[in-house]
């Protein structure tokens, strides 16, 4: 039986080294989670920007009717 080395098990690829603290599956899960959070953050920022643009257009129309 081998005492060390790398194994590909049921839960992903991991290193049987003393210093390895994460398996590759947990690293992939973290990457997926960060990608989802960044996507949601970008969507929220785009929504805020579109709302601000719509507010400015509405505000300019109101100024035009008040001054006319």
Q: What is the tally of helices (H) and strands (E) in the chain? A: 1, 2
Structural domain boundaries enclosing 63: 6-67
Decide if 19 is inside a domain: yes
Decide if 1 is inside a domain: no
Decide if 39 is inside a domain: yes
Decide if 44 is inside a domain: yes
pLDDT value for 57: 87
Decide if 22 is inside a domain: yes
CA dihedral over 30, 31, 34, 39, signed as positive or negative:
negative
pLDDT at residue 3 tops 60: no
State which H helix or E strand residue 12 sits in: strand 12-15
Binned at pLDDT 50, 70 and 90, residue 7 comes out as: low
Query: How many domains are there within the chain?
Result: 1
pLDDT value for 8: 54
**Residues 6, 13 contacting (CB under 8 angstroms):** yes
Tell me the β-bridge partners of 7: 14
What gap in Å lies between CA 61 and CA 51, rounded to an integer? 15
pLDDT value for 11: 55
pLDDT value for 14: 53
Q: For the segment 11-64, what is each residue's pLDDT rounded down to a tens digit? A: 555 555 555 555 667 888 899 999 999 999 999 999 999 999 999 888 777 666
């Amino acid at each position: 039986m081998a005492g060390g080395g790398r194994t590909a098990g049921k839960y992903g690829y991991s290193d049987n080294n003393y210093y390895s603290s994460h398996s590759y599956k947990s690293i992939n899960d973290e990457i997926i989670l960060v990608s989802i959070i960044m996507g949601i953050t970008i969507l929220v920022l785009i929504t805020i920007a579109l709302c601000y643009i719509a507010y400015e257009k509405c505000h300019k129309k109101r100024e035009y009717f008040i001054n006319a």
